[in-house]
Amino acid sequence: MRLVLCSALAGCAVLLTACGGAATVDNTAATAVTSIAPLDRSPQSSAPDTTTTTSETTVVTTKVKESEEPVADAPAPAGTSAEAEDAYLDDLKEAGINVEGVEDQLIGAAQAECNAQDQVTVPAVAGQLIEQARTQLEHGQVVEAIAASARTHYCQ
């Protein structure tokens, strides 16, 4: 009975902790900055003089201008060229892989293939391509197609 009661109390504590906090997320930029004058820390004396200080508050409003149109072209990652990307993707198309809509992921897989320490990205991407019905090839064939084309066009 004690165990059940302790478990229930622990569960309530976890739920209350998870629900706590007043943090919110929105996509608005901060629009006001307030500055406060520093506190005057002069030595106290027994004289009846009083000093009054005033402070100014400065409000700065900034407006973030967002582009009305999306970016048409982004620069290629360092060390690659558009020609290398096109040739890599063309090789994958010729191998029987539908690359439409997943070009960025496939380019990332090519870059991962060039990293000798990364041995999981290409097989994972190959599995995703198969599950998304983007190819009729076997897993090993997709892995080899990605790896071979990446070594040809990306790895220097």
Express each pLDDT in 96-114 by its tens digit: 999 999 999 999 999 999 8
Give the gyration radius of the chain's Cα atoms. Answer: 30
- Of the two residues 139 and 71, the one the predictor is more confident about is 139
Residue 122 lies in a domain: yes
Q: Quick one: DSSP state of residue 50?
A: -
Total-model pTM? 0.50
26-60 residue pLDDT tens: 555 555 556 677 767 766 655 555 556 666 777 66
**Predicted confidence (pLDDT) at residue 12 exceeds the cutoff of 60:** no
Cα separations (Å) of 98 from 14, 63, 87, 126, 138?
46, 43, 14, 12, 14
Residue 2 lies in a domain: no
End-to-end CA distance of the chain: 67
pLDDT bucket at 155, cuts 50 / 70 / 90: confident
- The number of domains in the chain is 1
Rounded to whole angstroms, the Cα distance separating 131 from 122 reads 14
pLDDT bucket at 76, cuts 50 / 70 / 90: very low
Residue 53 lies in a domain: no
**Predicted confidence (pLDDT) at residue 138 exceeds the cutoff of 80:** yes
**Predicted confidence (pLDDT) at residue 120 exceeds the cutoff of 90:** yes
Domain extent at residue 87:
82-153
Rounded to whole angstroms, the Cα distance separating 142 from 127 reads 8
Residue 74 lies in a domain: no
* Residue 132 near residue 96, CB atoms below 8 Å: no
